[in-house]
Structure formats: structure tokens, C-alpha cells
Amino acid sequence: MANTKMASEASLKDSAALSDTNALKDFLALIKIGIVNSNFITTFAGLWLALHFQNLGFLDHIGTIIYTLLGSSLVIAGSCSINNYYDRDIDHIMSRTKSRPTVTGKITGQQALMIGLFLIAVGTGFLLMTTVTAAVIGLIGAFFYVVLYTMWSKRRHTLNTVVGSFSGAVPPLIGWAAIDPNLHFVPIILFLIMFIWQIPHFLAIAIKRCEEYRAAGIPMLPVVHGFDVTRRQMVSWVACLLPLPFYLFSLGWPFLILATALNVGWLALGIAGYKTKDTVKWANLMFVYSLNYLTILFVSMIIVTLI
């Protein structure tokens, strides 16, 4: 009787959660609006720095800026929609994904696929209104996320995190290329920062959700090799961030000091993980730090150019 009552209560909660959604919320969940928003910041940073280093006026290029931000956001949103389409067979297993509209049935798989392809096509069109280079980079990022990550590596290899990090690192390149298609070391460093940052960020999630990934059959690093190996990998990748701010010395000493402090703080937190007994709690701290790290770092890139 107790088990029946608990099952009924759980069913009622699930039903309430479903009824609490509407078309807009379902659409935003489909395109993973959180990912779109975070990439909006890094795309804008690439745009802003390109304008800064080229001594170009912001308002003089407002059209290009709008096309770039809109286009990149649509390409990312479309890629996320296709990811939800492809993963709908396993998303119901994980608590953080089981309420996605492709799982609940509020958006069908075919609808998710068509929406994704449409958004990528429209987004690419907007990027073509800036430079061909920006549009090509956007499509390469979509290909890495949809094909090489979602369809190929995610369910086969522990390196899936590394593969997926490539697509998440292209937004600054898109932003820069929309202004200056001749990429040089500044956007490359932005790409490397984003690429490296994602790996400890997503490995922290993998530790927190280890058993859910195991149940879904996804070979994340902690699932296959355990927490100790994952912890060492996270610390190693964070350490790789240490020299990168020095390549952006042209942004000035304040940025260099702040970026170095952020890197040292993250590395110290990572090393502290070797002594902790609660690895999941430590992973959550690493995850929260990574979110603040990214926001502070990229916003500071913009602020220092205004001082």
C-alpha cells in the first residue's frame, strides 16, 4: 500500500510538472536556451574585441552585430534541437532531461528535427550577411555538435566531452570573423579558452550525474574510469588555462591579473579535490566556479576595453 501511494504521488507530481509548461517554455527547452544565452556572451565578446582591435565603431557596424548575434544564436538553437531529437530515446532515463518536450511528447521527434534544420538554415543565412567565414565556422560548429558529438562520440567514447567542446568553442570565432574574416591569435586564444574550459565544466556534471549516465549507457569518463581518473583529468585541463591570459596581454594588466587569479583559484579548488571525501560535493563546487569563471572572464574582456 505504501509503495502504491508513493507511486501515485510521484505520478501526480509528474503530471503537475507537465501541465506547468506551455508552448514557449517547451520551445525554449527544445533549443536549450541556457546554452544559447551563454554562447551569446562569448560571441559578443569576439565581436567586441574584433571591433576594438580593428579600431572600428560599434554603431557603425550595428547591422553586422545584429546579424551575427541572431545568426549564431539560431544555429546553436537549431543544433540543440536536433540533439534533443536524436537523444529522445535516452533522455527519459536522466532526471535533468526527462522533462524535455521531446520526452514528454509535447514536441514530436519530427517536429524537433524540422525546427532544428530550419533554425540552422535561417541562422546561416544571417551569418552570410556578415562574412562567408563566419557562416562556415557556424556550420562547422553545428556539424561537430550534431554529427561528431551527438551521433558519433557521445554513446561510444569517453572522449565525447573533448569532441563536444570543439563546437562550444566556436562562438568567439564566429563573432570575430563577422568583423574580420582574417583570424589571428586573439580569436584563436578565445577559442582555446572556451575549448579547455568546457572539459572540466562538463566532467563536473558527469561526476554529479554519474549513475544517470551509467543507466543511460553513456560512456562518460567517471562512468568508465572512475572518479580518481576524472579528477586528475579536470585538474590537468584547468592547469592548461594558466598561460592563455598572457597571450591577451594587449588587454592590459588589470585583465591579466584578474584572469590569472581566476585560473589559480580554479586550479587550487581542483587540487583540493584530492583531499576531499565527498567527490560529488567537490564536483558541484567546480561546476559553480566554472560558470562564474566564464561569465567574469568574458565580461571583463569587454569592460577593460572601455576603461
Structure confidence by residue, pLDDT tens digits, 186-233: 999 999 999 999 999 999 999 999 999 999 999 999 999 999 999 999
Q: Using an 8 Å Cβ cutoff, are 213 and 227 in contact? A: no
- Residues 190, 291, single domain; the answer is yes
At residue 14, does pLDDT exceed 70? no
pLDDT band at 20 (very low <50, low <70, confident <90, very high): low
Residue among 159, 184, 160, 154 at smallest CA distance from 172: 184
pLDDT in tens, 24-76: 999 999 999 999 999 999 999 999 999 999 999 999 999 999 999 999 999 99
Domain that holds residue 277: 185-307
CB neighbours of residue 21 within 10 Å: 15
- Residues 148, 195, single domain; the answer is no
- Residues 200, 73, single domain; the answer is no
- What's the mean pLDDT in 277-283? 94
Looking at 183, 201, 222, the residue that finishes a domain is 183
Measured CA to CA, the distance from residue 66 to residue 283 in angstroms comes to 37
Measure the CA angle with vertex 144, ends 155 and 259; round to 5°. Answer: 105
At residue 291, does pLDDT exceed 50? yes
| Residue 13 counted as domain residue | no
Q: Using an 8 Å Cβ cutoff, are 140 and 177 in contact? A: no
- Residues 189, 160, single domain; the answer is no
At residue 10, does pLDDT exceed 90? no
Measured CA to CA, the distance from residue 265 to residue 296 in angstroms comes to 13
